[in-house]
Structure 1
Amino acid sequence: MTMTRKDIGLATRRAVLGDAHVARAQEATTAFDAPFQDLIAEGAWGRVWTSEAISRRERSMLTIALLAALGHDEELAMHCRATVRTGASAEDVREALMHVAIYAGVPAANRALKIAKAVFAEMAADTDQTDSEKGGDHDKG
């Protein structure tokens, strides 16, 4: 069976944003916004994010810079979280946001840096908690 652009897009979206995020988005979809969700799956994820012209790491950095420049804070946080799956490091994000400061303005970059900093701290805390839980299991056995 041949995969549709939507199928390819959903697979790519899952690879970048994670299964839980995509499942939540699909569960929240109604008849009203289903055409919009299809547009995102086919266009953003099935065409743009699947292009092999640049890496997912580079695409991640571009996306973060654009979201920061445009003030799309919720999407910015989501894409900062996705860096664990795209290969972009915190340093890559910082450098992208330095570009935002020069080309889109210091206030936009300042706001974005605060968001990225909070997201990366949350991710580190989650990792630390997961690591300590794993260690705690070893202590019991």
Structure 2
Amino acid sequence: MNDPLAPSERYRQGMATRRAVLGDSHVDRTQSGSTDFDRPFQELITEAAWGHVWSRPTLSKRERSIVTIALLAALGQDDEVAMHVRATSNTGATREDVCDALLHVAIYAGVPAANHAIKIAKQVFEQMDAEETA
């Protein structure tokens, strides 16, 4: 008999994709910090965003990464921009890809949004470079 509380196949796929994109350490930190209050939200984004959208075969992880960074920048979601810029090390999106995505943001969503996201991306790339040389 199926356990109604067991994770769905879509959730399991979402968790695998989430880990592949964001990295185990990020996902483990998020999971360990989860409480009864935000656990339903974590389950929702794992199943819906990561299991339904990011796991689709139509776009590559690189392409999804570029689109996601542009959308988050346009929406002014600074923490999410930083997280997804860091995730480019797992998705194959290059710094040139991020730059081009943010140029699109400047034209279609506004220069201030792109300018701020560029500052965030530069900081994240500097942190990544420092970690690489350490």
- Name the TM-score class by shorter chain: over 0.9
Pick the aligned partner of 1:15 from 20, 23, 28.
20
Instruction: Name the CA distance, whole Å, in 1 between partners of 2:100 and 2:133.
Output: 25
1:17 CA drift (Å): 0.2
Bigger Rg over Cα: 1
1:29 CA drift (Å): 1.0
Q: Which amino acid aligns with 2:27?
A: V
Q: Which amino acid aligns with 1:65?
A: A
Pick the aligned partner of 1:102 from 104, 107, 125.
107
State the TM-score, normalizing by the size of structure 1. 0.88
1:86 CA drift (Å): 0.2
Pick the aligned partner of 1:62 from 61, 67, 81.
67
State the secondary structure of the residue aligned to 1:82.
Answer: helix
Indicate the residue corresponding to 1:85 in structure 2.
90
State the secondary structure of the residue aligned to 1:36.
Answer: helix
1:15-45 deviation line (CA, Å, top 9, x unaligned): 0000011001111111111111111010000
State the secondary structure of the residue aligned to 2:37.
Answer: coil
What is the RMSD of the two structures over their aligned residues, measured on CA atoms? Answer: 1.2
1:110 CA drift (Å): 0.2
Instruction: Name the CA distance, whole Å, in 2 between partners of 1:65 and 1:31.
Output: 32
User: Superposed, which structure 2 residues align to 1:30-49 within 5 Å?
Assistant: 30-49=35-54
Instruction: Name the CA distance, whole Å, in 1 between partners of 2:124 and 2:28.
Output: 21
**Count of paired positions:** 128
> Which region of structure 1 is more displaced relative to structure 2, 96-105 or 115-124?
115-124
Unaligned runs of 5+ in 1: 130-141
1:4 equivalent in alignment to 2:9: yes
1:87 CA drift (Å): 0.3
Which consecutive segments of 4 or more residues in structure 1 shift more than 3 A? none
Q: Which amino acid aligns with 2:46?
A: A
Unaligned runs of 5+ in 2: 1-7
